[in-house]
Structure 1
């Protein structure tokens, strides 16, 4: 840990968070330019040549849900870190202030979601109270709960897959018929919709329900895993490199084959609607080992890479909220306002990602050399301590 204006910062968290927020853009960028279906069904758009498919393979195995998993894991740890910080400073009602902090995040997320449909801040803000209720329980019980929440979509996916025929249309029987009959929306009658087919313009309600189940399960589960890792001091980077090396090797050894199998399954079945909800199950199981593998690897790199580079990545992590939101703002201006008809392949899109990475790596360090907090972090902090004196955390 390093001193920062009389505050101990766990630089390992900053470094991992910096890598995570940069990595998130690899997948999110797809949704800024390509149809929504390209995220879930790579064959539907943006795969024009072998190079594009190489990017699909690499991103699906090493990036998709892993960077968001790291982000979620660190968010869970930050909830406990915030409470501990409040108690150290003898601040009153730390749990109430944490709730208020996440109400602010919910508002920010709602504004963000009005700009871009892929916002995750709303999910985090809604999951935070659950973490607050659970974080003081036995840490191994929290670990078990985290593993359960991450994987329960695997249990539900065959059930939801059975609601669709081989063409991705709804099968109007049983539960599906009840949903359609009780709903007045057109979306209730749609099958896989725009989430799977590039030529569709609406998201099917039933498929949308499964996506929500999956998103909340992954987020809450990873947040609880983050609480466990923080309480076990693993995230603090205080153990030997050999310890983190074992975590990295175990995580990647288990996770990479599972994620690869999921990719091969999708490709060999030509991403048929008949496997839309189930082909990702090996990938879902792979996410936790791979996220843990990244925790081990990045913890080692935080102390082994050149300090000049590491310091810049830590700065990106300290400004994670600002960098996450500005990724959306910049992308929306470029691809919705300036170049609204621009169509890019995945390999071309990666060039844009690298440009944004370069900008954020440069501006984060520059900003924090002059200010203590990123702009959105400063606003979040000021609103958090709206009725409090001082407010150094």
Structure 2
């Protein structure tokens, strides 16, 4: 467990950027039906501003910030294990206990607040990542890309089966239930009048009890089915983060020019094909198969260099502006990453759900960035203020207390 004196400032800044960036993508699922994550058309007709927001999100943020956070999670695992072992403890056992409590936090987050939780995934995948902690950087990179390939094949196979279903539904001699079933599936992702989408509006505009019971039902029926689509890539990025830590990349030890060259090359590799995919989805009118296929599968190979590119760009800026006030504020956000992640869920749920302000489905897609920026400002203000008096964030303190089995000191003066 990291103590304030052993923090790595470069990783804190990266973590702060990742937490803020994740909210940029997550806000659509707080504010709109979950299907809008794959296609904003699920929430209704799109304006030019809506399409612009989707395009920027898809090119710059979608999957990249979660990948960056996964890399940092893998690197932090190594740091924790090393520190525990240097103190004469069993580092891997501590990580297992840590993962168990993280799963509990994630489950509570999922059921009580928001069904888009990622903590449970990190807890489970982190256990699998323990099998690789002793490997050399090159071996970690090879394993990471093996898991990336497996993830892509799983997603591509799923999308291919949907295209096969589409062709079967269009066949002249198709049994009536085939085109009807396919039309119902397509409508559940694209038609605001579809019962699946209408029910999302009704549930999240309703009371807390109804939302809670909906989350319980989702966990029992859908959560396990989503695992194949989120675990393999997460494991790959965790292993890549371990390799990047061992190589000194994540600690800010590279020269500024090295970070700049890495960022430039990665963005050159990833942005052009991503722009082509974005154009294809927009030109299709956000048709379900192009939109779903692009978000799930076809964009994934390009997310990898873009995630690394973001890390390199942030670290390039860090090496040049490490003493700026904004840099210190972002680092403070990163040091309170768990508190900020869960805190945004509380604030956004209270903003959009029926038990709060009840704005679910009433804020245009193009206006969501304004709420994100407002949340960023709050994070950048409260995080350093909290750290002036406290060594740990509230959720970080609770996590470490539970893992250590004894109350941790929290005040800086203690």
Instruction: Using structure 1 for the length normalisation, give the TM-score.
Output: 0.86
Task: Give the 3 Å change call, closer, same or farther, for CA 345–389 of structure 1 in structure 2.
Answer: closer
Task: Give the 3 Å change call, closer, same or farther, for CA 390–117 of structure 1 in structure 2.
Answer: closer
Distance across 2 between alignment mates of 1:321 and 1:193: 36
Q: What is residue 382 of structure 1 aligned with on the other side?
A: 401
Q: What is residue 242 of structure 1 aligned with on the other side?
A: 257
Distance across 2 between alignment mates of 1:93 and 1:307: 38
String of CA shifts for 1:329-358, please: whole Å, max 9, x gaps.
111112112222541112211111111111
Query: For 1:13-162, what aligned pairs fall within 5 Å after superposition?
Result: 13-45=11-43, 48-90=46-88, 92-114=89-111, 115-162=113-160
Task: Output the aligned Cα RMSD.
Answer: 2.9
User: What is the CA-CA distance between 1:54 and the residue it aligns to?
Assistant: 1.1
Q: What is residue 176 of structure 2 aligned with on the other side?
A: none
User: What is the CA-CA distance between 1:128 and the residue it aligns to?
Assistant: 0.8
User: What is the CA-CA distance between 1:8 and the residue it aligns to?
Assistant: 2.7
Selected match of 1:369 from 388, 391, 413: 388
User: What is the CA-CA distance between 1:88 and the residue it aligns to?
Assistant: 2.4
Gaps of 5+ in 1: 172-186
Q: What is residue 177 of structure 1 aligned with on the other side?
A: none
More helix by share: 2
Q: What is residue 217 of structure 1 aligned with on the other side?
A: 232
String of CA shifts for 1:157-189, please: whole Å, max 9, x gaps.
342224336887997xxxxxxxxxxxxxxx9x9
Instruction: Judge which range, 151-160 or 372-381, deviates more.
Output: 151-160
- Contact kept in structure 1, 2:9 and 2:331, CA below 8 Å: yes
- Contact kept in structure 2, 1:169 and 1:190, CA below 8 Å: no
Match of 1:164, SS state, is helix
Distance across 2 between alignment mates of 1:206 and 1:190: 19
String of CA shifts for 1:63-112, please: whole Å, max 9, x gaps.
1111111111100111001001112222x222111100010000000001
Gaps of 5+ in 2: 170-180, 198-217
Match of 2:294, SS state, is coil
Distance across 1 between alignment mates of 2:388 and 2:74: 28
User: What is the CA-CA distance between 1:47 and the residue it aligns to?
Assistant: 5.9
Selected match of 2:351 from 322, 334, 346: 334
Count of residues in correspondence between the two structures: 370
User: What is the CA-CA distance between 1:304 and the residue it aligns to?
Assistant: 2.1
Distance across 2 between alignment mates of 1:389 and 1:316: 20
Instruction: Judge which range, 381-390 or 294-303, deviates more.
Output: 381-390
Instruction: Using structure 2 for the length normalisation, give the TM-score.
Output: 0.82
Distance across 2 between alignment mates of 1:89 and 1:261: 52
Distance across 2 between alignment mates of 1:222 and 1:195: 28
Task: Give the 3 Å change call, closer, same or farther, for CA 52–193 of structure 1 in structure 2.
Answer: closer
Query: For 1:217-366, what aligned pairs fall within 5 Å after superposition?
Result: 217-280=232-295, 281-305=297-321, 307-336=324-353, 337-342=355-360, 343-366=362-385
String of CA shifts for 1:126-154, please: whole Å, max 9, x gaps.
00111111111232121112122223232
